[in-house]
């Protein structure tokens, strides 16, 4: 299923996600930091798909996900990311020890780096 989940993108509607990933699941409501989201989770695959009004607003990839997302894999070093994506367009300005690189073009992507290992730990697209 990971190949199908890796192609889910922001802007896809729920019906397209369900047909692409061959799933029948519908989003459930979840509150994180006082914000309510609609999400379909695939914990065995390390993927969470977030929806706003039945349209994908973000996709989160974490371990055990093993496919490349725009050429970047979980566990990629900063040098590997720069070789694939170039330097980030900007950094996420949160001082919590996690370095977050943001790419705006050609499509949005956020890469979170593990503060202990300096490799990609989470990918948002």
Q: Domain residue spans in the chain?
A: 2-62, 78-124
Q: Name the percent of the chain in helix, strand, coil, to the closest 5.
A: 15, 40, 45
Q: What is the pLDDT of residue 13?
A: 94
CATH architecture of the domain with range 2-62: 2-Layer Sandwich (3.30)
pLDDT means over runs of 10, the chain (125 residues): 76 93 89 87 93 94 94 97 96 91 92 97 96
Q: Where are the alpha helices (DSSP H) in the chain?
A: 2-5, 14-21, 78-85
Q: What is the pLDDT of residue 31?
A: 87
């Amino acid at each position: 299923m990971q190949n199908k989940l890796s192609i889910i993108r922001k802007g896809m509607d729920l019906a397209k996600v369900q047909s692409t990933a061959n799933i029948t699941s519908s989003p459930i409501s979840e509150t994180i930091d006082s914000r309510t989201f609609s999400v379909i989770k695939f914990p065995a695959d390390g993927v969470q798909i977030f929806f706003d009004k039945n349209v994908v607003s973000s996709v989160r990839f974490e371990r055990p996900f093993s496919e490349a997302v725009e050429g970047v894999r979980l566990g990629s070093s900063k040098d590997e990311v720069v070789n694939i994506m170039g330097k980030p367009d900007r950094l996420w300005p949160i001082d919590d020890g996690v370095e977050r690189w943001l790419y705006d073009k050609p499509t949005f992507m956020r890469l979170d780096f593990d503060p202990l290992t300096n490799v990609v730990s989470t990918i948002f697209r």
